[in-house]
Amino acid sequence: MPVSEVTAQDESFAETYLKKFFNLTEESGPSVRRGISPVSKKLSEMQKFFGLQITGTLDSDTLAVMKKPRCGVPDGTVAR
């Protein structure tokens, strides 16, 4: 419930979470300068799955869900 600031450490944690559970891949080659960033896209995907407000940005509600204990199988995608 209390709103707290999102720190750089939280952002790094969120990126690891998205890589692990929402198939966020490292960008390689020339970086894309325009359009929605892959992190924002995956955040939106995650927020949609968990019924959170879809903002595409890391907020305290999203972070709280990421920090909950959970199953290790990726969400919404199929791990072969």
Partner 1 sequence: FSTFENNLKWQKNSLTYRIENYTPDMSMSEVDDSIEKALQVWAKVTPLRFTRLYSGTADIMISFGGRAHGDHYPFDGPGSTLAHAFSPGPGIGGDAHFDEDETFTLRSRKGFVLFMVAAHEFGHSLGLSHSDDRSALMYPVYTYKNPDTFVLPQDDVKGIQSLYGPNPVKNPFVAEPQPPPTPDACDSTIVLDAVTTLQGEMLFFKDSFFWRSTPSSRTPQQSLITNLWPKAPVSIDAAYESQQPGKIFLFKRQHVWAFTGSDLVPGYPKSLTSVGLPRGVKNIDAALYDVDSGKTLFFVGNSYFSYDDARKTMDNGFPKRLDQTFSGLPGKVTAAFQYRGFTYLYSGPHMFEYNLKTGRLYRVLRNNYFLHC
Contact residues toward partner 1 (CB under 8 A) are 1-2, 21, 49-53, 65, 67-73, 75-76, 78-80
Q: Which two tokens stand for residue 40?
A: 């924002």
* CB-nearer residue toward partner 1: 32 or 76: 76
Find the shortest distance in angstroms from Cβ 66 to partner 1: 9
Q: Which is nearer to partner 1, 8 or 78 (CB)?
A: 78
CB of 26 to partner 1, least distance (A): 18
Nearest-approach distance from CB 76 to partner 1, in angstroms: 7
47: exposed, middle or buried (Cβ count in 10 Å: 0-12, 13-18, 19+): buried
- DSSP-derived 3-state class of residue 17: helix
Nearer to partner 1, 31 or 71 (CB): 71
Compute CA distances 10 → 1, 33, 57, 67, whole Å. Answer: 17, 24, 12, 10
Place of tokens 């892959």: 38
